[in-house]
Structure 1
Amino acid sequence: MSITPSAAALQEAEDIADGDAPGLRRTPRRRKPGSNMAKQYPMWFYLPAGILFIVLFIVPTIASFYFSLTRWSLFDIQFIGFANYVQFFKEPALVQGFTNTFIFGFVTSALKVVLGLLIALVLTGRIIGRTFLRAVIFFPVLVSTIGVGITFKVLMDPFDGLINNALAVIGIQGPAWLTDPALAIYSVALVDVWRGVGLATLIFIAGIVAIPQEYFEAAKVDGASAWNSFWNITLPLLRPATVTVIILSLIGGLRSFDLIWAMTKGGPGFSSDVISSVIFKQYQAGFFGLSAAGNVILFLVVTAVIVPIFWALNRKQVEQ
């Protein structure tokens, strides 16, 4: 004997499935991620940022590519193809400039990561004057780069500089920081680290503070030492902050110019020249198209270095 459900029973079953039956709490349907993104942020909302990006980045980039293919002045433009690029690679200081660019970029980036992490660990601990010390560490970031360069140029004077005079008091003969070809680029790198480590420290502090304390409490209950907690909890969870510091420091180091120019102007000789200073010297000499070609080359070099590193670091982050 077959039983045919009534229309009322069918309606009640549908109500139960939809959560509309009497006495039942309606379960909200899960929405797809980003389904309301267009409603929350209409397209016109992005127009100001898009216009600024086009005007301040896209247009100058395209103009640089064009002018790099010309010989130009304020009154005349002559298209010469890739002759500027060929001439730029014949510059006597270019090989030294490439070498110093990579030395400066990787040395400063590595030191900022290591020192920034160590200082951040100290300044997130229970120490007296923690807020004041954070402000002191970050203060050099706010100072003019040219001002920092001129100040340290005076401090690092081999004869009358305060640094060498202080070393002489304890019986140490200070080196020729900025006049020794073997030391000049490293001396400027140390000053750049002093100036920029505050930003790296701030990023690491933000990352450390964001780590839930429950992880450390559970590790302490399990008998983990401070080193084990750092190695297995703090360091892995700080990977996003570490990637940020590495990328920002490396981009800044590879593009650095103002501090080097203020302290050494690429000297002595070509010993502290970087790609940016070689470009500026061509601009000073009136070879505007040649300097534009150098800027394009610098852009491609920085892109070729940063993109693979950024991809590799983020790939490891996703895998973990």
Structure 2
Amino acid sequence: MALASPAAVAIAVPARRPAQRSPYPTWFFLPAAIIYAVLFLVPTLASLFFSLTRWTLFNWTFIGLDNFVQFFREPFLVQGLINTLIYAALTSGLKVVLGLLLAVFLTSEIMARDFLRSVIFFPVLVSTVGVGITFTVLMHPTTGAINETLALFGIKGPGWLTDPRLALISVALVDVWKGLGLATVIYIAGIVSIPQDFYEAAKIDGANAFQRFWNVTLPLARPATITVVILSLIGGLRSFDLIWSMTRGGPGFTSDVLASVIYKQYQAGFYGLSTAGNVVLFILVAIIIVPVSIFLNRKERTP
């Protein structure tokens, strides 16, 4: 059998096309880079520097790590750090679980489904401060509508925002109520994108509703779960406006989180200490979100 000539091989194999260059010049990215540097890099580097100083609006003195040492020596600052972790875990966990359950319910064949979706999402559109003020009135220990409603059934309502044991949890539940709509919408988008063939195959195999949820919906809605977990954790760790509008960190320091403690330090004129708190908050968010994101986004290894 005769071998093909080199010329024939060269003709048979198409020539590799040169890599196409982007039609947009590199300097088109310059405006975005400038905005990123001005709004993120410069403030971040400035915060890192001023966290190592004792500064006012007119002068500064370099003191090294003294602000960070003082930060972790103050009991109420450490309490704010603990409350931040509790608040973030509670709010993100409830948003994931309740958002998924509501999304499954709102993607089923029910009446007024679109109306119910709008009702669930409506709190997301309301001002956080407005929600905080409204629930402060509703949760008043004596004249609040919640405790008055409980009194109709012979139940004495607690001091939702005045009891040190309940204040942080009460604010967290309001946060869940306000942010649940966004988590539900994300889950709805993830569920409706699942091909119906998987559900039909599961039905043919005799899977009941719970088995279809556990073996089809839950695994294939994982991208939505990752998004909800990351967004909820970031929001919980950085939460300030709702807590400040409802309790201002009280009673005492029982509902203080890092952001509210930092704000109080600014109000008191301890600018260096509060800047160090901002750096601690930034590092806290990074060391929690980055590993969680890597863990959730890891790809399953195939043998």
- TM class by shorter-chain length? over 0.9
Distance 1:42 1:241 in 2: 35
Q: Does 1:224 align with 2:215?
A: no
Quote how far apart the aligned CAs of 1:298 are: 0.9
Over 3 Å counting, the alpha-carbon distance change for 1:292 and 1:200 in structure 2 is: same
Distance 1:161 1:78, change over 3 A: same
1:163, 1:214 → 2: CA distance?
A: 46
Note the 1:105-124 alignment, pairs <5 A: 105-124=88-107
The AA in structure 2 aligned to 1:259 is L
Q: What letter is aligned with 1:67?
A: F
Larger Rg: 1
Distance 2:108 2:294 in 1: 33
**Residues 135 and 266 from structure 1, CA distance in 2 versus in 1: closer, same or farther, beyond 3 angstroms?**
same
Q: Which residue of 1 aligns with 2:296?
A: 313
CA deviations on 1:142-197 (whole Å, 9 max, x unpaired) are: 11111111110110000000111111112211111000000000000000000001
Q: Paired residue for 2:238?
A: 255
Once residues 86 and 10 of structure 1 are traced to their aligned partners in structure 2, the CA distance between those partners, rounded to angstroms, is 75
Matched letter for residue 92 of structure 1: P
Gaps of 5+ in 2: none
- In the other structure, the counterpart of 1:300 is 283
Residue 222 to residue 79, structure 1, CA distance change in 2 (3 Å): same
1:237 aligns with 2:227: no
Instruction: Give the whole-Å Cα distance in 1 for the aligned partners of 2:150 and 2:3.
Output: 101
Q: 1:141 aligns with which of 124, 127, 130?
A: 124
1:14-38 deviations in Å (ceiling 9; x for gaps): 65x348xxxxxxxxx9989xx65x5
Greater CA drift, 90-99 or 273-282: 90-99
- 1:207 and 2:187 correspond: no
2:27 and 2:213 mapped to 1: Cα distance? Answer: 46
User: What pairs with 1:1-320 in structure 2 (closer than 5 Å)?
Assistant: 15=11, 17-18=12-13, 36=20, 38-39=21-22, 42-315=25-298, 317-319=299-301
* Aligned counterparts of 1:14 and 1:92: Cα–Cα separation in 2: 77
Gaps of 5+ in 1: 20-28
The one-letter code matched in structure 2 to 1:307 is V
User: In the TM superposition, what whole-angstrom CA distance separates every residue of 1:60-109 from its partner, at most 9, and x where no partner exists?
Assistant: 10111111111111112222221211222222302211211111000000
Cα offset for 1:13?
Answer: 6.6
- AA partner of residue 189 (structure 1): A
Q: CA RMSD in A?
A: 2.3
Query: How many residue pairs were aligned?
Result: 302
The residue type equivalent to 1:94 in the other structure is L
CA distance in 2, matches of 1:4, 1:267: 88
Shift of the 10–66 alpha-carbon distance from structure 1 to 2, 3 Å rule, reads closer
Moved more, 131-140 or 277-286: 131-140
Closer/same/farther in 2, CA of residues 201 and 73 from structure 1, 3 Å limit: same
Change (3 A) 1:212 1:108: same
Partners of 2:124 and 2:17 lie apart in 1 by: 44
Alpha-carbon separation, structure 1, partners of 2:26 and 2:52: 37
SS at structure 2 position matched to 1:39: coil
CA separation of 1:123/1:282 partners in 2, compared to 1, >3 Å: closer, same or farther?
same
* Amino acid aligned to 2:37: I
C-alpha distance after superposition, 1:112-154 (max 9, x if no partner) = 0000001101111111221121111111111111111111011
Q: Which stretch has the larger CA shift, 237-246 or 89-98?
A: 89-98
Per the TM alignment, residue 43 of structure 1 is displaced from its structure 2 partner at its CA by 3.0
Once the two structures are superposed, residues 245-301 of structure 1 have per-residue CA deviations (whole angstroms, 9 ceiling, x without a partner) of: 111101111111111111111110111111111111110001111110110011111
